[in-house]
Amino acid sequence: MLLADDHPVVRHGLTALLSTLHGMEVVGQVGSGREAVRETALLAPDVVVMDLRMPDLGGVEATERILRHNPSVGILILTMFEEDEMVVDAIHAGARGYLVKGAEQEEIERAIRAVAAGEAIFSSAVVAGALGRRSSPSAQIPLRQITIREREVLNLIAAGIGNEDISRRLHLAPKTVGNHVSSIFHKLGVATRSQAIVLARDAGLGRSV
């Protein structure tokens, strides 16, 4: 993974912590959003842990640029407060979750592994903020276009469940799940899993799985 934070102490502390966890490797550290965009293109990490407020280029814009060219990268926002409005902007940009600075080791490990697996980690406060920022009634989820099976898949996506677990739960081949996800994204008019989650939860999905 790549760590992007303008505070060296935070970067070094996370690197020291993550080096003790099985299967995790920090391939790079950067201090600005522009460096995060460049190093992600060069190093191709599975996950980028992204601070929001950085010099040169902020975390939200850096997230947008990274996912524009590397849509498979999981972006995990690093923030002081989960209610930060910029976290909501980052969700709309495609971030898969957030990590609060000062979180316990177990929380950090869980969040990073979830994002790496394609899952989403958002609190109810963050999702509520994202829904509240949607400005157009025309953005309402077009559920009538979605098949019964796609609705089952979308319900699990809205619950933050990754494709691998969806495959097991619905007894579908991974490729079939991927095809359903692509179809759902197309019908919803979204480009990222995070955007699909916001729309699906707005429609009441993902609450009982």
CATH assignment of the domain containing 114:
3.40.50.2300
- What residues make up the domain containing 147? 137-202
Nearest Cα to Cα of residue 107 among 78, 85, 150, 142: 78
Residue 209 lies in a domain: no
User: Which pLDDT tens digits describe the chain residue by residue (209 residues)?
Assistant: 999 999 999 999 999 988 888 889 999 999 999 999 999 999 999 999 999 989 889 999 999 999 888 888 999 998 886 656 777 788 878 888 888 888 888 888 988 998 888 887 876 556 655 556 554 444 455 666 788 899 899 999 888 888 889 999 999 999 999 899 988 888 887 777 877 887 888 777 887 66
Please say which residue of 132, 150, 167 terminates a domain.
132
According to the model, what pLDDT value does residue 100 have? 83
Enter the pTM of the model: 0.67
Q: Is the same domain home to 16 and 103? A: yes
* Domain final residue, candidates 117, 132, 147: 132
User: In Å, what is the CA distance from 154 to each residue of 11, 54, 181?
Assistant: 35, 34, 8
Q: Is residue 35 part of a domain?
A: yes
Query: What is the C-alpha end-to-end distance of the chain, expressed in Å?
Result: 30
Considering the domain architecture, whether residues 98 and 69 belong to the same structural domain is answered as yes
